[in-house]
Structure 1
Amino acid sequence: MPVKFFFRLLLILVALSLPLMGRAQRAKPPKIQVMVVGSDHLSQLYNKQPESDVFSPKKQAELAQVRAQLARFRPDIILVEAEPKEQPQIDSLYALYQKGTLRLEDLPSGRGERYQIGFALARQLGLPSPKGVNYFTSTSQSLLNSGTNIEAYTRDLRLLQTASRPLKALVQKDSLSLYDYLALANQPELIGLLHRMQFNTPAQVMNGSFAADGTNTADVGKVDTEYIGAHFITLFYNRNLKIYSNILRAQRQTQARRVMMLFGLAHVGVLEELLAVNPDYELVHAAKYLKTNKKKLLVLDK
């Protein structure tokens, strides 16, 4: 092969390979896997009857089933509904829990999902202390109680209550397992209804006011009574945007690639909505792991 021809061929091959090298250099790392697990606040299940107590042997076995399913996601960090300023206390309690010198039964809030799922699953998987990413404000669903089209909001609220309250009563009586209860809570249909009721339907309500005895600690400025429903949505959205910021910060600090967070059900839809459009994240729905054959108990069309 003539030398001149050889060098010409070599130059052509190098030129052809440059775009491929550039694409390889620009290749992004795999997306961060994130899963939002919704939970009824487990401490609120307890009504002084032994069947309602998450510390009962039966419910402990059911919680073990929940944790076994969630473990299949293989999280490398667990985020919980606690504020970042609580982190020193969380770290201290988790260190004692890891050593076996802390019993959850001895904690005033030991029945809560932060401990029953968050702490227990983190220890089971050998993970570091769960991280608090909450931003706390309190706004009651009954705060919005008047205005044009208020019936649209109250209809969705009744629909949610009709679907959820019987399930809670069943699990409190041990007629429904705690595993199936949490699996039903994470079904897309229920998450969707709750999200619509809180972040969409209220926008139909106009020219109204908030209940004088309603709870609200969120301050997003002067209440615009013409757009009372939209202002109501803003109270919840403002809080969840700050939670979202805390989630992103926690991931950056820990460099976790598989993030599981545990939050009250009302947060799931909006957090999933925010995470789904973040190009760095890939959303995994909790229902993928929390499967149930009790869906007939989920009544959403009355």
Structure 2
Amino acid sequence: MRFRGTYRIVFFFLLSFLFGTKTAFAQQTEPVEILFLGFDHLNQLANGTPQAEVFSSKKQAELAKLNAALKRFAPDMIMVEVEPREQARLDSLFRLYRSGSLRLTDLDGGRSETYQVGFALGKLLNHPRIYGIDHYEATSQSLLSKGKNIELFRQGLQKLQNTARPLKKAVQQDSLSLYDYVVAINRPAMIQLTHRLFYNTPALVINGDFSESGVHSTDLSKLDKAYIGAEFISLFYNRNLKIYSNILTAQLKNRGRKLLVIMGQTHVGVLQDLVEDNPAYKIVSPLSYLEPKK
């Protein structure tokens, strides 16, 4: 009986150890939360009218509301559309901003979401730095201009413009708040509309060419014009793969557990697709903080 009791104690001890170890392991392997917030770049909002000025008291109040909502997510790393090679400059500017020695009105590009949201929120959360994770390669929408089925791409582009431009105009005229504009362009339907235009529809375009006046910053000497639309997609996709790599390596190095990634809205769909295939990460919708359920 004594041995049987001893075995029972050892058995329960082993069960407790195994379940305890499993729980601890599960806690250590909880996926990193990542929230993508897409923008129609704020430094491109101005149209020469006072209503469109990001530094106006009204739009500053709307941005303050946005930052207060994002603060509830409590990110421990804020990532912005700046290349890692510019990190030293970003760190220097953020130190000055945190200390009150830098006003964004005095900064070239100070209207950008990098500063209006990234810097402002980082200061609210007392972060030591803001992380640059961009990889810059310019590609314009007008680059894809010729080829069989080009009208299908143009129809998609027209649909996006007809949807997005009235929203932007409403913000510029102050009939739509900047806060509500950010909410609108981060809705799944809008993300999908943009994503299809740049990463799906162009594949229909074949046997064509790029516009000589279209903007690009990559080597097009080995272009396969038989698959001109696929080549167009590859320009966008290649850039975002490198941005994705920058996000992963920055998180790995700094051990962040809650990431806020602030990018142009056209990046969000493809980055979300990449992250969804990575079990180490969990996507958090910005709408859960910008439009919390009542």
Q: Provide the residue aligned with 2:256 in structure 1.
A: 256
* Residue 3 (structure 1) shift: 3.1
Moved more, 148-157 or 136-145: 148-157
* Residue 219 (structure 1) shift: 3.4
Secondary structure of the residue that 2:279 maps to in structure 1?
coil
Q: Provide the residue aligned with 1:5 in structure 2.
A: 4
The within-5 A match list for 1:36-51 is 36-51=36-51
* Residue 249 (structure 1) shift: 1.0
Long gaps (5+) in structure 1: 293-302
Letter in 2 for 1:151: E
The within-5 A match list for 1:146-161 is 146-161=146-161
Moved more, 8-17 or 106-115: 8-17
| Alignment CA distance shift 1:280-1:221 (3 Å) | farther
Q: Provide the residue aligned with 2:127 in structure 1.
A: 127
1:261-283 Cα offsets, whole Å, 9 max, x none, are 10001101011111111111110
CA contact 1:46–1:54 (8 Å) conserved in 2: yes
1:221-249 Cα offsets, whole Å, 9 max, x none, are 61111111111100000000000000011
The separation in 1 between residues aligned to 2:189 and 2:59, in whole angstroms, is 25
The separation in 1 between residues aligned to 2:67 and 2:17, in whole angstroms, is 49
CA contact 1:77–1:128 (8 Å) conserved in 2: no
Moved more, 208-217 or 55-64: 208-217
* Residue 291 (structure 1) shift: 2.8
Letter in 1 for 2:2: V
* Percent of residue pairs bearing the same amino acid type: 47
Letter in 2 for 1:3: R
The within-5 A match list for 1:285-296 is 285-291=285-291
Following superposition, which runs of at least 4 residues in structure 1 exceed 4 angstroms of deviation?
10-19
The within-5 A match list for 1:65-144 is 65-144=65-144
The separation in 1 between residues aligned to 2:128 and 2:291, in whole angstroms, is 27
The separation in 2 between residues aligned to 1:84 and 1:111, in whole angstroms, is 21
The separation in 2 between residues aligned to 1:224 and 1:87, in whole angstroms, is 36
Matched, 1:207 2:182: no
The separation in 1 between residues aligned to 2:99 and 2:21, in whole angstroms, is 50
* Residue 107 (structure 1) shift: 0.7
Moved more, 12-21 or 207-216: 12-21
CA contact 1:220–1:234 (8 Å) conserved in 2: no
Aligned-pair RMSD on alpha carbons?
1.8
CA contact 1:219–1:235 (8 Å) conserved in 2: no
Equivalent residues, number: 291
Matched, 1:195 2:201: no
Secondary structure of the residue that 2:212 maps to in structure 1?
coil
The separation in 2 between residues aligned to 1:136 and 1:5, in whole angstroms, is 69
The separation in 1 between residues aligned to 2:211 and 2:249, in whole angstroms, is 36
Secondary structure of the residue that 1:90 maps to in structure 2?
helix
Secondary structure of the residue that 1:145 maps to in structure 2?
strand
* Residue 7 (structure 1) shift: 4.2
Q: Provide the residue aligned with 2:162 in structure 1.
A: 162
| Alignment CA distance shift 1:148-1:189 (3 Å) | same
* Residue 24 (structure 1) shift: 4.3
Moved more, 216-225 or 95-104: 216-225
1:53-74 Cα offsets, whole Å, 9 max, x none, are 1100011001111111111111
Matched, 1:279 2:279: yes
* Residue 218 (structure 1) shift: 2.5
The separation in 2 between residues aligned to 1:3 and 1:58, in whole angstroms, is 79
Letter in 1 for 2:198: Q
The separation in 1 between residues aligned to 2:178 and 2:240, in whole angstroms, is 27
Letter in 2 for 1:162: N
| Alignment CA distance shift 1:211-1:21 (3 Å) | same
1:115-150 Cα offsets, whole Å, 9 max, x none, are 111101110111122110000010011111121211
